[in-house]
Chain A
Amino acid sequence: MTKMILRRLASSCLSLFILVALVFFMAHLTPGGPAYSILGQKATPDSVAQLNARLGLNQPLVKQFGVWLWHLLHGQLGYSYLLNRPVGQLLWVYERNTLVFYSVSIVLSTAVSILLGLVQGVWFGRWPAKLIGAFQLGFYALPPFFVAAMLILWFAVDVRWFPASGIIDLRDPHAGLASFAAHLVLPVITVSLLTVSALSRYFGEAVHEELGKDYVRTARAKGVSFPAILFKHVMRNALRPLVTILGLSFPYIFTGGVIVESVFNYPGLGWLMWRSALSQDYPILIAIVLIIGVLTVLGNLLADLVNGLLDPRASYE
């Protein structure tokens, strides 16, 4: 298994290099440039040239890429042109917000999806499953910004149970964990509703399929109780596709969602990526792309490993 992990990681390095190089050159070749974001509307050809020289953006692109790679190998992700901070420091500020937000969302979504999927699989074709199916289709079809806007209108504006934006109560100098948690509620519900609608459907289908298999009939014929069959055997097998999907969505735990974070003014990594792309703040943009790439690789690897644990027949090769 160790060999497999090392081989997978080694082969991923080339993919990551190509990904980052592509994004680097594409970002730098788009019209405009960070100098215009920094200097604003009063930018002149002279001031842009002076600033580009200061930032090293007047160097050949290949040389700039080489410098960036050299810094990366020394553990430096660069310096944000627009926010005037080291990229590593900025990423940490935004990353921790996203990490909490999406970890809570994914854990909650997975738990609810398993619950709903079990009900849907067991009562397949009957009204509880149909009801859940309607919920799944309904929420899967809804765009995230709409769900977010509705939740804000109902719970932040109408009844004022939860705040509409940000991560902390700005008026309370002693605001702490409770305030942070309150600010998480609506974004987490938004992401969870949308995630559950997809995950629970996959899981429900898998449970239904497993329940129709020969080993279930044999177990029942031998007198094994239905709950034991369901939780010990069916669920374990049905979880495999769910784990694969969760593995693929692993990067989102770190990079967040541009739309949801924007609607809730939630300062997460997805939101930072969007802003950086618009302002052509290359160092941040490329660092986030690199993170997404690394996490996609790790997410897939993790999913394979968990699947292997769930089903020992699965080959690591």
Chain B
Amino acid sequence: MHRALKPLLAAATALCLAGPALAAPGDCGTLVIPTGLGVASGADITGLNPLLVNSTYNAQAAGLMFQPLFWVNGNTLQIDWSRSIASAVTSPDNGTTYDVKLRPWVWSDGVPVTSADVAFTWKLIQAYGTTYAGYGAGGMPDLVKQLKIISPEEFQVVLKHQVNPQWFIMDGLGQLAPLPAHVWGQYSSDEIYEHQSDVTFFKVVDGPLRPEALNIGQDLVFVPNPAWPGGKLHFDKLILKFVESDGQTVQQLESGELDMINVPMGLWNAVQHLPGTQIVTLAPALDYNEVALNLRNPKVAFLRDVRVREAMEDAIDQKGMIQLINHGLGEEHWGPVAPVPPTFLTPAMKAGHYPVSYDPAHALALLKEAGYTRGPDGIMQKDGQKLSFTQLNLTGDAMIEQMTVTTQAYLKRVGIEMKVRDIEFNQMLALLNNPHADWEAAGLGESAVAYPTGEDLFKTGSFENSGGYSDPTMDKLIDASTNKPGVQGLYDYETYASAQQPVILQETASIALLVNSRIKGAADFIDPLYNYYPENLSCTMPEGEAAK
């Protein structure tokens, strides 16, 4: 070895050894995890303002800094009052007026969190209009007629009309997470917009962590907020490192640079017995995959026939795909509502009975009923029109590629041809947003909301309804699910959506984590709504320290 390298090596070795040696019993010192842990491959965090978050990554970071009004636990889909800033919510007229009481909570600078902070959030949401990240979800902000401060610990929201209280509380009202009016109030909404990547702007928080540094393109450094009343944190720093490649995360875990990573399914066997690591399987997320269909495109007009869509759904063996691609980790998704936890499934669906299921024979029967016969090339056709379409996929995602290839094979067995074209994220979004674009189908991931009605997904003209699906019955059922108290509306909607398949629903994959053996509580760190619970992480002492 070159002589000049020796001091360098010595320094590097000393630095590597210094970390564990400084850790106190039960304390983790500095924890380094990639962005997207428990979600997907990593990406950069580019903004911290919870009202402007444009990705799950930014949302997760903002979620660690700001405590929500209502904390919906992803494992139960119930409000966890112990972690919510609201202590109670009532609707005296069963759906139009909502009285919310706040529990004692403080900002990191010691100033109490009050209803004025909620009113400030509301003012900002109105100022940002359609650029507000949660625009449209839960009827926000257009559904709200008025927000009134009753006292520092209480406020009232009045809606323009009566709605299903459970839906509005979980999906709409919950968006009014307090923001520090006493700090941000001196800035205009434009100035606040411009500071979204400036950590010094976020020095006052009410969540468990406070950002210390956002190193553009590298990492986001958090330190515990000592004023957070939610529990003790067992680390000095939590660093979210921006690593995009799954392969790189494995190498960095092995080299000790990362503490926890998502297991890349392609490397499942390779990571099973890595020394010094443990595999922790998470509950499946509430998200699901789908093949979005452009029902406006006359070239693929056959997709407007519900029998064709149902046949496509029946042709795909979701269980087989979960085994083949996800090593058995995942859940079949025959309807638009997550099967785990089954909180909002209909009683029939809880028992496993959906209008659709894997049944290739039924798929063929449906296509025959619709008048299709196999052509000489094995592809179904009717009046010279082949059951053939092109699916757009996001480039560079190995999991999506595997899913697509498998879906292609399943569809081909019933005589449906699916071609594939890769495309960049921005271009895909631009196409999906253009009602005149001639895309035919698109492989997408659909993110879930706490109370899973379909007003954004399948209602005529709704913003996530890219394929232009329009059905009066569906519209009526969705309206009932959001407007009428009780869950019956939701049940009717999800049953109809499962039978209709406005998009071809596909399975949801579970994520497994590869975790440094010294870390405990990784399974309870993330829930299926991608909420982080940093207080659940702790560490065992390094072996050398334990011996002392």
Binding site for B on A (CB under 8 A): 30-34, 36-48, 50-51, 54, 82-85, 90, 93-94, 149, 152-153, 156-157, 160-167, 169-172, 175, 178-179, 181-182, 185, 262-263, 265, 267, 271-272, 275, 278-280
A104 to chain B minimum Cβ distance, whole angstroms, is: 12
A185 to B1, CA, bound (A): 13
Q: How far is the CB of B271 from chain A (nearest CB, A)?
A: 12
In the complex, the answer to whether B19 meets A48 with C-beta atoms within 8 Å is no
Beyond A40-B54, A84-B195: 4 further Cβ-contacts under 8 Å? A157-B251, A160-B16, A181-B8, A265-B218
Q: Please, which residues of chain A bring their CB within 8 A of the CB of B198?
A: 84
CA distance A317 to B109 in the complex (A): 68
Using known A-B contacts A36-B430, A169-B15, determine if residue A83 contacts B46 with beta carbons closer than 8 Å: yes
The answer to whether A179 touches B15 (Cβ under 8 A) is yes
Could you say which residues of chain A place their CB within 8 Å of the CB of B219?
A: 166, 170
Contacting pair A31 B431 (CB below 8 A): yes
Q: Is the CB of A84 within 8 A of B256?
A: no
CB-CB contacts of B252-270 with A at 8 A, as 1s and 0s? 1011110000000000000
Number of A-B contacts (CB under 8 A): 169
Assuming the contacts A167-B218, A179-B15, asked whether A51 and B131 have C-beta atoms less than 8 A apart, the reply is: yes
Write out, one digit per residue, whether chain B residues 210-223 have a CB within 8 A of any chain A CB (1) or not (0): 00000111110100
Selected from B19, B218, B257, the residue in CB contact (under 8 A) with A164 is: B257
Cα–Cα, bound, A44→B432 (Å): 9
Of all chain A residues, the one with the shortest Cβ separation from B274 is A157
Report which of A32, A84, A93 forms a contact with B194, defined as CB distance below 8 A: A84
Question: In the complex, are the beta carbons of A39 and B424 less than 8 A apart?
Answer: no
Task: With CB as the reference atom, state the residue of chain B lying closest to A40.
Answer: B54
Are A164's CB and B252's CB within 8 A?
Answer: yes
Smallest CB separation, B4 vs chain A (Å): 10
Q: Which B183-210 residues have a C-beta within 8 angstroms of A?
A: 194-198
Q: For the complex, is B351 an interface residue (Cβ under 8 Å from A)?
A: no
Can you name 24 A-B pairs with beta carbons within 8 Å? Answer: A31-B430, A40-B54, A45-B433, A54-B131, A84-B46, A152-B255, A156-B254, A157-B254, A162-B12, A163-B257, A164-B255, A166-B241, A170-B241, A170-B257, A171-B32, A172-B18, A178-B12, A179-B15, A262-B245, A263-B245, A265-B242, A265-B248, A265-B252, A278-B426
Cα of A169 to Cα of B426 in the assembled complex, Å = 34
User: How close is B15's CB to chain A, nearest CB, in angstroms?
Assistant: 5
Q: How far is the CA of A182 from the CA of B19 in the complex (A)?
A: 16
In the complex formed, the residue of B with least CB distance to A43 is B429
Complex contact A166–B254 (CB within 8 A):
no
Q: B255 contacts which chain A residues (CB < 8 A)? A: 152, 156-157, 160, 163-164
In angstroms, how far is the closest chain B Cβ from the Cβ of A280? 5
| B1-21 at interface with A (beta carbon < 8 Å) | 5, 8-9, 11-13, 15-16, 18-19
Is the pair A170, B12 in contact by a Cβ cutoff of 8 Å? no
The interface size of chain B toward A, counting residues with CB under 8 Å, comes to 63
Interchain CA distance A31-B427 in the complex, whole Å: 5
Asked if B8 and A156 make an inter-chain contact with CB atoms under 8 angstroms apart, the answer reads no
- In angstroms, Cα B427 to Cα A293, docked, is 27
Contact partner of A37 among B32, B54, B130, B239, CB < 8 A? B54
**Whose C-beta in chain B lies nearest to the C-beta of A42?**
B133
Report Cα–Cα, A50/B32, bound state, in Å: 37
- Asked if B426 and A37 make an inter-chain contact with CB atoms under 8 angstroms apart, the answer reads yes
Q: A171-B29, A181-B8 are in contact. Are A83 and B197 (CB under 8 A)?
A: yes
- Asked if B30 is at the interface (CB within 8 A of a chain A CB), the reply is yes
Q: Mark B323-367, 1 if CB is under 8 A from A, else 0.
A: 000000000000000000000000000000000000000000000
Query: What CA separation (Å) do A278 and B396 show in the bound complex?
Result: 12
**Which 3 pairs between the two chains have the least Cβ-Cβ distance?**
A32-B426, A40-B54, A178-B11
A162 to chain B, nearest CB (A): 6
B contact residues around A278 at 8 Å (CB):
424-426
Cβ-closest chain B residue relative to A175: B15
Partner of A36, one of B12, B197, B256, B429: B429
Asked if B257 and A166 sit within 8 Å, CB to CB, the answer is yes
Nearest Cβ distance between residue B21 and chain A, in whole angstroms? 11
